[in-house]
């Protein structure tokens, strides 16, 4: 017996079903959210604002808001950041992910597209009273799925630091290796060697020395060289880093060789 479908077959989509799905999709709201990161007090922080109304009244949320009917996502996000948290000086902006869980918002189906926004340590943006910076490792009670989105943003940032020069958007315009090390450690969540950091970044031509040196410290010693980023736009510096397997411990290596 032939398995060929006919126009009247029950396997064929019904026009009324398609129309109903399209009409339902038109009713979905779409919002743009920003995971704004800045290194403050030697820790990676995220910018949050406190909700005044239900749902999740008094909880903290990512800045952002509804997408206008004629807006692009990036333009909408820029508008909300300027209006809600007075943040306009962003060094790097990239789309992170879209959340479409049906029950992510108790008010109804709302799809959210999140972006990562990076702010330099050189800046101290003026923010409203209902807005604050929080360490990503010590977040307050958050609204909706925003804590999960922040963690996704942190993982994206950690990955990008290994194969791009994206730290230019977080670091001061000029810096010593010790100052840059603080930025990397705050984002990666573990200590790193200043010597190794300097060697890798110079080899990849991510940073370059200037003609300046830092002021001598009270402990004396050789003044530290002042560096800057070779470029202040995103560049992939190690295209194969993202494809390397995770490092194995010594015990795992012994087992594999036994």
80-89, 105-114, 130-139, 153-162: the lowest-pLDDT one: 80-89
For residue 60, the model assigns a pLDDT of: 98
Q: Say how far apart CA 190 and CA 162 lie, in whole Å.
A: 13
Quick one: tokens of 194? 């200043």
Q: Say how far apart CA 105 and CA 125 lie, in whole Å.
A: 30
Q: Is 20's pLDDT higher than 60?
A: no
Pick the CATH number of 174-246 from 3.40.390.10, 3.10.450.50, 1.10.10.10, 3.10.180.10: 1.10.10.10
Average pLDDT over the chain, rounded to whole?
Answer: 87
Summarize pLDDT for 178-203 with one digit per residue, the tens: 999 999 999 999 999 999 999 999 99
- Listed as own residue / partner, the contacts of 154-158 with beta carbons closer than 8 Å and 24 or more positions apart are 154/37, 154/44, 154/187, 156/94, 156/96, 156/116, 157/37, 157/44, 157/116, 157/118, 157/187, 158/187, 158/188, 158/189
Q: Which residue has the tokens 């879209």?
A: 98
Q: Are 105 and 55 in contact (CB under 8 A)?
A: yes
Summarize pLDDT for 49-88 with one digit per residue, the tens: 999 999 999 999 999 999 999 999 999 999 999 888 888 8
Quick one: tokens of 250? 């010594």
Q: Which CATH architecture has domain 29-162?
A: Alpha-Beta Complex (3.90)
CATH 1.10.10.10 in the chain, residues?
174-246
The edge-to-edge listing of strands for the beta sheet with 225-229 is: 174-175, 225-229, 207-213
Summarize pLDDT for 132-153 with one digit per residue, the tens: 999 999 999 999 999 999 999 9
Quick one: tokens of 207? 């940073």
Confidence of residue 247 (pLDDT cuts 50, 70, 90): low
Q: 3-state SS of 166-188?
A: HHHHCCCCEECHHHHHHHHHHHH
Residue of higher predicted confidence among 250 and 170 = 170
CATH 3.90.79.10 in the chain, residues?
29-162
Summarize pLDDT for 199-231 with one digit per residue, the tens: 999 999 999 999 899 887 666 668 899 999 999
- For 157-185, what is the mean pLDDT? 97
Show Cβ contacts of residue 237 under 8 Å, excluding neighbours closer than 6 positions.
Answer: 163, 164, 165, 204, 205, 206
Q: What percent of the chain has pLDDT over 90?
A: 72
């Amino acid at each position: 017996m032939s398995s060929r479908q006919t126009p009247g077959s029950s396997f064929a989509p019904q026009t009324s079903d398609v129309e109903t799905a399209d009409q339902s999709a038109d009713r979905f709201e779409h919002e743009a959210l920003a995971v704004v990161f800045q290194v403050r007090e030697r820790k990676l922080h995220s910018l949050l604002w406190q909700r005044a109304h239900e749902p999740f009244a008094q909880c903290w949320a990512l800045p952002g808001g509804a997408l206008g009917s004629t807006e692009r996502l990036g333009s909408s996000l820029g508008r909300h950041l300027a209006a809600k948290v007075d943040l306009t000086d962003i060094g790097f902006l990239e789309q992170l992910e879209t959340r479409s869980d049906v029950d992510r918002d108790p008010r109804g189906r709302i799809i959210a597209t999140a972006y990562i926004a990076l702010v330099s340590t050189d800046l101290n943006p003026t923010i409203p009273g209902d807005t604050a910076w929080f360490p990503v490792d010590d977040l307050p009670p958050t609204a909706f799925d925003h804590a999960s989105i922040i963690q996704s943003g942190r993982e994206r940032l950690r990955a990008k630091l290994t194969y791009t020069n994206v730290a230019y958007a977080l670091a001061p315009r000029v810096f010593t290796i010790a100052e840059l090390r603080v930025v990397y450690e705050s984002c990666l969540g573990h200590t790193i060697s200043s010597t190794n950091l300097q060697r890798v970044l110079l080899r990849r031509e991510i940073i370059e020395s200037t003609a300046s040196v830092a002021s001598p410290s009270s402990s004396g010693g050789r003044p530290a060289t002042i560096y800057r980023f070779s470029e202040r736009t995103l560049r992939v510096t190690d295209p194969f880093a993202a494809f390397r397997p995770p490092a194995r411990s010594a015990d795992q290596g012994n087992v594999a060789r036994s």
